[in-house]
Structure 1
Amino acid sequence: MTHSPDPATVVIYSGGMDSFTVLHRALREGLDVHALSFDYGQRHRRELEVAGRVCRELGVPHQVVDITAIHGLIDNSALTDASRAMPEGDYAEDNLAATVVPNRNMVLLSLAIAKAVNIGADRVDYGAHGGDHVLYPDCRPAFVEAMNDVAGIANFEPVTIHAPYLRASKAEILAEGLAMGLDYAETWTCYRGEALACGRCGSCRERLAAFAANDAVDPLGYLQRPDDAADSPRPETAAESPRPDAAVEAQRPDHDAGES
């Protein structure tokens, strides 16, 4: 077992806005930050690629854990089954439930807790936020609090699950990040893995709404922003846009089977 000489935390880092802000918040606390990302067979690798680049630039230790072996256990979701249609429009229980990945956060937290114990860190940072509570059960305070109780007794060394934005909105998280001077061009949110964000999926729309609430402009490029033509058909170029991760996905043995 390798112990960190300084107070340390393991940050579950997806490469998205929330975990990006959590990562920088932990760094500003002066903690020895270890970023942990997961490849669980999601539809694309854009977030993982962004996460890797950010950690290299920051000099933060970053580990990507391959847990694609569990893909067949969690493939009942539009985020893990490329054959399913990706829902579009604002977050709502009737159309975004298709994006729930069964038990994902319990799995990820369990592995992050294990890493924390292994390196002598007493904390795991996790970017669950208030806007996800209605749709995603494993982002709700009751779940996080219960997992925190388990993390305190599951090993000889107790670990605390730190979810600083558990009761915050996406706009409030962004406001804090902007106040820190963070560059959100270094994040990826879109459920699709194309060269540009789609601007139509619930994740894109929530992100753009957060920027609008802060009177700020999202630095990411979009195929279409809702305020430009929210109800127009998706451009044909969307299907033709080059995907930077396409070559990577093509090398994955399950790519042709539609399990990426």
Structure 2
Amino acid sequence: MRDRALVLFSGGVDSTTCLAMVVDKYGKDNVVALSVSYGQKHANELNSAKKLAEYYGVEHLYIDLAPLFSYSDCSLLQHSDQEIPKESYDEQLKKTDGAPVDTYVPFRNGLFLASAASIALSKDCNVIFYGAHHDDAAGNAYPDCSVEFNNAMNTAIFEGSGKQLRVEAPFVTKNKKEIVALGKKLGVPYQLTWSCYEGGDKPCGKCATCIDRKAAFAANGIDLD
């Protein structure tokens, strides 16, 4: 059986680089992109995901998991009145005493991967890819981006699917600079991606993901934002 892949796809830098890599490896006809609406303030990323899925010519699916996060007051969510921090993750982690940062959505990647597993099996895919990377896991900022989390979810999904489906996080030990370097080689149209956590028409330039994006682009000689 030929490999078919499902890519969890937000329309941001990491997931777009992941999609480009998977399309390059498997061919667009063997790739399904899955985008998730979860009540995020930065719903702009879904518009980017649509444009990028069309660019790569892959099947694009959507699911809505917003009700599952309705009890959370995470600042990343539309119903929260909490302000999104305007500082780097390093600065935020100095104040958390080892807890995740304020923009951590409770077990988000776990829910995304479990939902993706069901869809992947239904779409005859045998591997799920997602763009978790080392910078997000560092310091426990986003614990559901760690190597340990990925290994545990891979085991659960592999066993729970009757050994039909595996999970791969190709960037889990890489930083954003390295991811953008790969994307640059693959010709990723980063001008179509969206990273900012705010829901405005333009990136705020001050939230942690804007800071990381700008630094990774600058390190690779890319000037977009």
Q: Percent identity?
A: 34
Q: What is aligned with 1:117? A: 121
Amino acid at match of 1:120: D
1:186 aligns with 2:182: no
1:12 aligns with 2:12: no
Q: What is aligned with 1:171? A: 177
| Corresponding residue SS for 2:194 | coil
| Structure 1, gaps ≥5 residues long | 221-260
Distance 1:121 1:182 in 2: 24
Greater CA drift, 101-110 or 157-166: 157-166
Please give the per-residue CA displacement for 1:97-141, whole angstroms capped at 9, x wherever unaligned: 110100100000001111111122110001000101121110000
Q: What is aligned with 1:209? A: 215
Q: What is aligned with 2:74? A: 77
**1:117–1:157 CA contact under 8 A, matched in 2:** no
Amino acid at match of 1:68: A
Q: What is aligned with 2:48? A: 50
Distance 1:67 1:89 in 2: 28
**1:38–1:64 CA contact under 8 A, matched in 2:** yes
**What is the Cα deviation at residue 43 of structure 1?**
1.3
Q: What is aligned with 2:147? A: 141
**1:191–1:203 CA contact under 8 A, matched in 2:** yes
Q: Return the match for 2:202 from 196, 201, 208.
A: 196
TM-score by length of 1: 0.79
Q: Return the match for 2:167 from 150, 155, 161.
A: 161
**What is the Cα deviation at residue 212 of structure 1?**
1.7
Amino acid at match of 2:19: L
TM-score by length of 2: 0.90
| Corresponding residue SS for 2:122 | helix
Please give the per-residue CA displacement for 1:49-96, whole angstroms capped at 9, x wherever unaligned: 1101111232211111012221324x2211014411110111121377
Amino acid at match of 1:102: P
Distance 1:115 1:174 in 2: 28
Please give the per-residue CA displacement for 1:208-229, whole angstroms capped at 9, x wherever unaligned: 1111222321x23xxxxxxxxx
| Corresponding residue SS for 1:120 | coil
Distance 2:66 2:219 in 1: 37
Amino acid at match of 2:44: R
Distance 1:114 1:24 in 2: 23
Please give the per-residue CA displacement for 1:226-257, whole angstroms capped at 9, x wherever unaligned: xxxxxxxxxxxxxxxxxxxxxxxxxxxxxxxx
Q: What is aligned with 2:111? A: 107
Q: Aligned-pair RMSD on alpha carbons?
A: 1.5
Amino acid at match of 1:152: F
**2:42–2:196 CA contact under 8 A, matched in 1:** no
**What is the Cα deviation at residue 6 of structure 1?**
4.1
Amino acid at match of 2:53: C
Q: How many aligned positions are there?
A: 214
Q: What is aligned with 1:66? A: 64
